[in-house]
Amino acid sequence: MTMVPARPSLLTPPVLWGLASLAAIALSLAAAGLFQQELFNPGGLPQLGRFFRASLQPDLSREMLQLTVQASLVTLAYAVCGTFLSLLLGLLGGVVMSEVWWQAVLPQRRQLQPPPIWFGLRAFLAVPRAIHEVIWGLFFLNLWGLDPLTAILAIALPYGAIVAKVFSEILDETPRQPLQALLNSGAPPFSAFCYSLLPQAFLNLLSYSFYRFECAIRSAAVLGIIGAGGLGYQMLLSLQSLRYEQLWTFFYAMFVLNGLVDFSSAWLRRRWGCASRLDLNASAAPTTRTIASNTPSFAVYQPLNQGLALLLVGLIAFCFWYIQPDFSKLWAPRTGQLLTDLLHACWPPDWSQGWQLVKLSADTVAMSVLAIALSATVGLLLAFPAAHNFFLPGGLLNPTAGKNASLLPQILFLLSRAILLMGRAIPAPIWALVVLFVLFPGILPGAIALALHNLGILGRLMAEVIENLDQRPLLALQTTGAPASLVFLYGVLPLTMPRFLSYSLYRWEVCMRETVIVGLVGAGGLGRLLTEQLSSFDYQGLMATLTCFLVLTFGVDWVSASARRSLR
Amino acid sequence: MIRRAGIGYQRPGLQPLFELRQVTQQFGGLNALSQIDLKIFPGECVALIGSSGAGKSTLLQLLNGTLRPTSGEVWVLGHNLGNLSSRRLRQVQRQIGTIYQQLHLVNNLRVIHNVNAGHLGRWPFFKALLSLLLPLEVETAAKALTQVGIPEKLYDRTDCLSGGQQQRVALARVLVQDPVAILADEPISSLDPELSREVMDLLRTLCQQAGRTLVVSLHDVAFAHSHCDRIIGLRQGQMVFDAPSFQVSLEMLADLYRLTAPL
């Protein structure tokens, strides 16, 4: 007689989270007014048709191409300078925010919790992180006008806070024994850090820095929308003047720029053997970071790496020279004056619109939920054909394709990659304006615009998860004679799903922050109110809206973090 | 050259379960196996020994149809694997259970699903899907886990188990698959001596009980002697000897683990 343990309850935490998210999606759909009100505007269809037809005949005149190159350089330069500054901030912040630093500096407290200043720092850095680059941009616009400084700092400040958080986590996860050995032999903490933790974590830090740069390119384009110049600005101008042929020229420039950045970053990461750039489940699955033995590993003194480093320094110098930000404005007396004026105008916050704020907050959350649900679903569907080890001949589900293999997988591969690239290359506000051709303003167009942009990012992250999948369990399933569909069900799906979900939850946090930028162009939610308050100089009302926004952002971050913990 | 290849094993009227005919396997320019002829008959218990890179894993991968030979033919259960459609290949693979060197389990699934994966060659898609939500054929899985000695782990997550327990889950999966032959690729290389003995005993018993054929690659020559009745020595892709266990002498082993072959 065999003993059969009692079947555990079906309502495990992941299942409960799943049910909760289905409920959230249903509620959000209701909030978007599905089946209740007129959403679709057929009058905009001809416009949309013209827009898509223009993709086949972009404006390639000489002046136009010159303008495109200039605008692309501006966007690139914003991204490079912004990332550079944010990495400086982030490295500093990351070290002082890491637990291990305080343990090194205050060894007598090693057994205790880190000092109060550590908690203070963490809480303080959460604020710049919670506010989207565009809001920072609008704020700096008031101080410095349309100086490139505005755009660079709008990227550097929130990114610096994010980088600091991630760097501190990477440092805390790095093995500490070498550091301890140095400290025990009497080395001062800073030198000990430079000789142990920093070189140990270097690859992970570098890999994340490249990911930040990929994001910065997209942020730099979005900042154009508020007038900072570059490709985003040119796109907005063309769209507003209904010159779709020009618009598509800028779109294609953005594809090329994004494609180049993504490709070179992926190439470098592969070359140095860091497979995953954004490891949200790092502590759950440490094996994914191991370097495959056949990849050339990283060595600082290799000539190619030295060349690349030189190239990078040159690029950064060129970018600062090209846009010439006026750093003297940072300490100009006028800045201080404007800042005090602005703070006075903001205080106290005006809560007179209380009820409307609550309703708009609910709308904003609904928009973010719909956006992530849509982009996760479509991103997932596109990720499989976009992964090079899946449907392609020799891939997981197509192991025996011989000479008579069809071209379909290759076509699907290129097509899905192109869709993903197009999704992420075009800034969400531009998508929103396009969607608003055929949908009435509200939650839905905002959600769709955010989804279109985010599915490009999410799909790519997911494809990378699939490509880095451990093949051995799948091979074992294949040799039991299981058909491809069941290898997928019992191997691929369970192995990838936790990562897919945790990326989706992470992107949900980003979507929440981004609702503000589709609101800017009229898609609804708190962002729209924010725009109205900005244009009517209602700074006290603005303060109240921003506070709501901060509360929502922290709330969403908290929910997402708890869900991710339970999914490990 | 000591090669008592298979002659003693030719039993008239009995069809070999596995047969390699002049098989060569190349990876890049490298010969992983060259010109191997080999017959393995039903009910045999065969050990593959030799140093790392001798071709043991490659040979097992050829036998279960994961690899197709660069030249030569692999016959399993009377079928030439090279001529089978992928559907027919799967039907043959269903009859062969493989246990791997690193534990090829899906870590974040519960034990029951990893064990039930042994059914996948037979189960229709919807049954497999349903079972992921609501485990099916729990009795069979529980019986298999009892046989390998960890019945209480049925609903645990696989990554919460120790290395030895995970190896047992892999064994239970093969039991559920109920194959006519078991291939084991260094099943004890990551286990301590005590666990190694237990796992080898288990493998041996499981095969003897049901008259299954066992082909196991081993680093530990002592286990090859104690648990198998035939030993095949591989060196640099060549078969150095193939003899009943009791005939394998210390000189033959010393010769096998020499670094280079004499000219």
Output the domain CATH number for residue A218.
1.10.3720.10
pLDDT at A294 over 70: no
Query: Residue A290 — pLDDT band, cuts 50, 70, 90?
Result: very low
Q: Is residue A126 part of a domain?
A: yes
Query: Residue A252 — pLDDT band, cuts 50, 70, 90?
Result: very high
Answer whether A481 sits within 8 Å of B90, measured CB to CB.
yes
What is the phi/psi pair of residue A7, to 5°? Answer: -70, 130
What is the pLDDT, as a whole number, of residue A100?
84
Lowest average pLDDT, out of A121-135, A286-300, B82-96, B186-200, goes to: A286-300
Query: Residue A397 — pLDDT band, cuts 50, 70, 90?
Result: low
Q: How far B189 CA lies from chain A's nearest CA (Å)?
A: 17
Q: Is residue A169 part of a domain?
A: yes
What are the residues facing B48 on neighbouring strands?
Answer: B217, B232
What is the pLDDT, as a whole number, of residue A301?
58
Q: How far A479 CA lies from chain B's nearest CA (Å)?
A: 6
Give me the mean pLDDT over the A209-218 stretch. 90
- Encode pLDDT of B112-130 as tens digits: 999 998 888 888 888 888 8
Lowest average pLDDT, out of A38-42, A232-236, A287-291, goes to: A287-291
Spell out the residues 6+ positions from residue B241 whose beta carbon is closer than 8 angstroms to its own. Answer: B2, B3, B4, B231, B232, B233, B248, B252, B256
Q: Is residue A532 part of a domain?
A: no
Query: Which residue range(s) make up the domain with A238?
Result: 63-337
What is the pLDDT, as a whole number, of residue A160?
93
- Encode pLDDT of A7-17 as tens digits: 787 778 888 88
Q: Please enumerate residues of A whose Cβ is less than 8 A from a Cβ of B.
A: 2-5, 7-8, 10, 399-400, 472-473, 475-483, 485-487, 489-491, 494-495, 498
Answer whether B143 sits within 8 Å of A2, measured CB to CB.
yes
How many CB atoms are located within 10 Å of the residue B99 CB?
Answer: 22
Give me the mean pLDDT over the A139-158 stretch. 88
First vs last C-alpha separation in chain A: 35
What is the pLDDT, as a whole number, of residue A256?
92
pLDDT at B6 over 80: no
ipTM of this complex prediction, to 2 decimal places: 0.77
Q: Where are the alpha helices (DSSP H) in A32-115?
A: 45-53, 62-97, 99-105
Query: Residue A73 — pLDDT band, cuts 50, 70, 90?
Result: very high
Give me the mean pLDDT over the A495-503 stretch. 88
Q: Is residue A522 part of a domain?
A: no
> Distance between CA atoms of A211 and A74, rounded to whole angstroms?
20
Q: How far A407 CA lies from chain B's nearest CA (Å)?
A: 19
| Closest residue of chain B to A5, computed from CA coordinates | B152
Q: How far B116 CA lies from chain A's nearest CA (Å)?
A: 9
Q: Where are the beta strands (DSSP E) in B88-225?
A: 96-99, 181-185, 213-217
Lowest average pLDDT, out of A91-95, A106-110, A534-538, A562-566, goes to: A106-110
Which residue has 């009795």 as its token pair?
A: B139
Burial of B213 (0-12, 13-18, 19+ CB in 10 A): buried
Q: Is residue A130 part of a domain?
A: yes
Which B positions 161-180 lie with beta carbon below 8 A of chain A?
A: 170, 173, 177
Give residue A37's Cα distance to chain centre. 33
What is the pLDDT, as a whole number, of residue A283?
38
What is the pLDDT, as a whole number, of residue A453?
92
Q: Of A404 and B208, which is predicted with more confidence?
A: B208
Lowest average pLDDT, out of A85-94, A267-276, A318-327, B114-123, goes to: A267-276
Q: How many domains does chain A have?
A: 1
Spell out the residues 6+ positions from residue A313 whose beta carbon is closer than 8 angstroms to its own. Answer: none
Lowest average pLDDT, out of A378-387, A529-538, B42-51, B73-82, goes to: A529-538
What is the pLDDT, as a whole number, of residue B214?
93
pLDDT at B153 over 50: yes
Q: Is residue A70 part of a domain?
A: yes
Do residues A519 and A526 touch, judged by C-beta distance below 8 A? yes
- Encode pLDDT of A542-562 as tens digits: 888 888 888 998 898 889 888
What is the pLDDT, as a whole number, of residue A403?
47
- Encode pLDDT of B37-65 as tens digits: 999 999 899 999 988 888 898 999 899 88
B120 touching A, CB under 8 A?
Answer: yes
Answer whether A473 sits within 8 Å of B118, measured CB to CB.
no
Q: Is residue A359 part of a domain?
A: no
Do residues B20 and B74 touch, judged by C-beta distance below 8 A? yes
Residues of A in contact with B117 (CB under 8 A): 477, 480, 482, 490
3-state secondary structure of A344: helix
Answer whether A481 sits within 8 Å of B97, measured CB to CB.
no
What is the pLDDT, as a whole number, of residue B147?
86
Pairing of strands B213-217, B45-49: parallel
Answer whether B125 sits within 8 Å of A489, measured CB to CB.
yes
B52 touching A, CB under 8 A?
Answer: no
Give the mean pLDDT of chain A: 83
Q: Where are the alpha helices (DSSP H) in A426-471?
A: 428-435, 443-467
What is the pLDDT, as a whole number, of residue A285?
35
Q: Is residue A124 part of a domain?
A: yes
